[in-house]
Amino acid sequence: MKRKSLFALSAVVVVAAAALVPVLWSGGDNLHNGTAMAATPADQAALIKKGEYLARAGDCIACHTVRGGKQFAGGLPMLTPFGTMFTPNITPDDQYGIGKWTQDDFYRAMHTGRSKDGSLLYPGFPFTSYTKVTRADSDAIYAYLRSVTPVNVPSRPHELKFPFNQRNMLIGWRTLFFREGEYKADPTKSVEWNRGAYLIEGLGHCGMCHTSINAMGGPVSSAAFAGGLIPLQNWYAPSLTSNKEAGLGDWETKDIADLLKTGVSNRGAVFGPMAEVVHNSLQYMSDEDINAMATYLKTIPQKSEAPEPLQLETSEKFGGELLKQGQKIYADNCAKCHAENGLGMPPSFPPLANNQSIQMPSAVNPIRMVLNGGYPPSTEANPHPYGMPPFAQALSNTEVAAVVTYIRMSWGNHGTAVSPQQVSDLRSAPLD
């Protein structure tokens, strides 16, 4: 997602992050007058269990729970070019949560992007995807949220700059970029494919990261799943439509399913925001749903070219100097795990040679991995993943640029040299 600068890409989204940021609290005074009650206690328990599963599929806990805080109590800060947003309390607390919300109120938020009092929700809450969720599934999620422990903590007001703190301005954005409506099955496709499409396009809201946004912060419809920068998290979500990036056209369905379920597969491992998605959400999904998602992803139309992101470039001469310097840095710091020939020792230590994520036009992800390190997600199938140590304290901006340049241009890789200025920009960027 680098068709434009980072700020142009994120402009006006206020903010389309890769996570759930619903502004679901409105402080209404109406007493709660509707619960997703089932006919019997057993039915109600089954409904709550279903809702918990669907909330996992939507990755709700990731944004509505601060590390070390109460579950679903909100308060997670989301830094944006327009100020800071704070995720709301969505526990069933009557005073500060959604305790007075009816299931109709909840469905309206999910389906139309409007709060209990009718006010417009910011598109950081992915109602553009959630509108596809069925009423039955919305009611199940509501029943589950009604069952969690209430937390009597107020939702912190957003700290947005004028005019982005004026919710009525969202009317224009919605007119351009929001189409209300539940998912409609494609009768020409299999039941499995349609289930995968429903999860990917709806609760999973995968397109929010993997689709470019324009200068107004709206998704570029012609670039669906074609990749892009995640502005608030400073990672690059690779294209799923180009084999030059993370295109899935030549992947086996099993490899896609393994990556979604465990975070690792024969084709690679996930890090950064996607690792959080696997850890908090995908690992808990059934094999049937994971296979359905993989089946759908496998059929996304492939394009010959990935979108061209804006990349800070170096001169050919300086790039050659970085390449030479990077070879020694790699030998001293990286070869022990990734091998002198870049083939690594998969799946514990992924190969860097012929690695699509290393060669993409955007060098954001390899730079961030060298600076900050990271781990694939800890999952039931991979409980003790091997990680990458951070080198931010050990290597200068030029040295990081050099070693990333080396791995992008060695062993047959076709990447380009990296600018130390880009390393500097990412070094000072927030980690989340």
Inform me whether the pLDDT recorded for 12 exceeds 60.
no
β-sheet bridge partners, residue 379? 382
Which residue is listed with tokens 């860097």?
Answer: 352
pLDDT at 22: 38
- Residue 85: its H or E element: strand 83-86
Determine which helix (DSSP H) or strand (DSSP E) holds 371, and give its type and residue range: helix 364-372
Whether the predicted model's global pTM rises above the 0.75 cut: no
pLDDT (0 to 100) of residue 246: 66
Residue spans of alpha helices (H) in 204-315? 207-210, 253-262, 272-280, 287-298
CA distance 269 to 385: 10
Q: Which fold has domain 316-427?
A: Cytochrome Bc1 Complex; Chain D, domain 2 (1.10.760)
Where are the alpha helices (H) located in 225-286, listed in sequence order?
253-262, 272-280
| pLDDT at res. 19 | 34
pLDDT band at 305; cut points 50, 70, 90: low
What are the sequence ranges of the domains in the chain?
13-175, 191-298, 316-427
- Ranking 232-236, 323-327, 344-348 by mean pLDDT, the lowest is 232-236
- pLDDT per residue over 275-288, tens digit each? 889 989 999 999 99
Q: Is residue 26 predicted with pLDDT exceeding 50?
A: no
Query: What does pLDDT average to over the chain?
Result: 82
Q: Which residue has the higher pLDDT, 67 or 17?
A: 67
Mean pLDDT of 74-103: 89
Digit-coded pLDDT (tens) for 131-171: 999 999 999 999 999 999 999 999 999 888 888 788 888 88
In this prediction, residue 429 carries a pLDDT of 64
Is there a contact between 34 and 102 (Cβ–Cβ < 8 Å)?
Answer: yes
pLDDT for res 218:
63
What is the distance, to the nearest Å, from the Cα of residue 59 to the centroid of all Cα atoms in its chain? 9
